[in-house]
Amino acid sequence: MKFFARAAGSVAVTLCAAAMVCATTPGLAVELANTEFLAVDRPDIQTKNVAYPAQVPIPPAPIVPAEWTSEGDQGPQTLADSTKSDARPDADYASLSDAVAAQGIPDSPDDELRCLAIGVYYESKGEPLAGQLAVAEVILNRADSGRFPPSACSVLKQRGQFSFVRGGRLPNVSTGSTAWKTAVAIAKVAREELWESKASNAMFFHARHVSPRWKLAKVASVGNHIFYR
């Protein structure tokens, strides 16, 4: 009898201790209160449906170490940060003329830039900027197409394609003129894709005063030329 009495007393103490823990520990109390008791071994006991609180406490946001805010840190980035790294702020111009005016004109442009500018200069010098950009786009599109030589210089020098080219040699240009500086700026805008041209996918063009009757898809009429692909 003493054994059973001691056992009963021990159980009572344990139950009281558990009740005190539940009463003094909010997290545990909520968890126990929200528990569903399923009648697995007792078919006579029905499942108890418990209504969960309307608002669940939201855990505090993690604290970002101060070291992550320094330059070159490898800490987590927000979506805005990662998107910003891919942006091209130099491409945000109000107009094509603004994009052209923003370009620095190198004294000695690289060969490809020089060839592209020569093509713009001799094919569309004096035309509106949009017309000059469209000519540059055709040269670049040909170089990227796989159907023509793979560079701006070789596209211009391809036999029978550009009337200003003689014997596979490009003509000289007066590099101090405003028209040349504009052609170089247009070439930079086109090569760096800083402005969208109406003839962005064109591969061919001809002057308005001729009618070659090409069986090609017309893309746009810009400046003094009509463009096709």
Per residue in 39-66, pLDDT tens?
333 334 343 333 334 444 444 444 434 3
In whole angstroms, what is the distance from residue 229 CA to residue 218 CA? 7
The three-class DSSP label of residue 205 is strand
Amino acid at 171: P
Q: Are 140 and 148 in contact (CB under 8 A)?
A: no
Q: At what angle do helices 178-191 and 129-145 cross, to 10 degrees?
A: 50
142 against 69, higher pLDDT: 142
- Which residues, at least 6 apart from 170, have a Cβ–Cβ distance to it below 8 Å? 115, 118, 153, 156, 157
> pTM of the predicted model, to two decimals?
0.61
Per residue in 163-208, pLDDT tens?
999 999 999 999 999 999 999 999 999 999 999 999 999 999 999 9
